[in-house]
Amino acid sequence: MKRTLLLLSTCLMLFCWPQSAMAELETAVFAGGCFWCLEHDLEDLPGVRDAVSGYSGGHVERPTYRQVSSETTGHQEAVQVRFDPEQISYAELLRSYWRNVDPLDDGGQFCDRGDSYRPVIFTADAAQAQAAEASAEAAARELSQPRAALKVELREAARFWPAEGYHQNYAENNSLKYNFYRFSCGRDRRLDAVWGAEARTGQPWR
């Protein structure tokens, strides 16, 4: 009887473990211009389980790329990041986000102009909101700018709508087109101009 109970207990533990592990992941949502680029910049960070391109912040349900691009939905191109907080903290993830956007531009990002390309940090709860504000203040100090000069909006999370399948993992699936777009858009040149040696890194704030 004891052996049977032990076997049953072991099976239950093995069955439940993956679900428990998944439940420990946390989610962050960021908008920072072209979601192809931001997804690519964040998805390979240690501790990030996956990054999904999509739309958030607007009033239209199940928006399409064409609708969002028309600048009539209120949505921004955004990326939903699932991460393991034991490997990468939300604060560390925020540092990488800031170093991959131009925080001084609220008219879009790089060559992409319009409301749908505005930089936004969508915060899921009070803890994320506090961490986001602390990161904004740290970013301002690093850039020798007043906090008010930073144009990244901090706002409560809205529903995230995944983008069409052809947008997912675009950098990997369409590397030639992606690299040409990124170079032509001047994203990295502007990041280097704003952040210097810290561009595209998650190094501690200076």
Instruction: Please identify every residue annotated as catalytic.
Output: 34
> What pairs with residue 123 in β-bridges?
156
Sole residue written with tokens 């998944």: 22
Alpha carbons 128 and 115: distance in angstroms, whole number: 23
E strand or H helix that includes residue 41: helix 35-43
Question: Whole-angstrom Cα distance, residue 29 to residue 75?
Answer: 13
Phi and psi dihedrals of 14, rounded to 5? -65, -35
Closest CA to 82 of 43, 135, 132: 43
The DSSP result for 176-198, as a single string, is: HHHHHHHHHHTHHHHHHHHHGGG
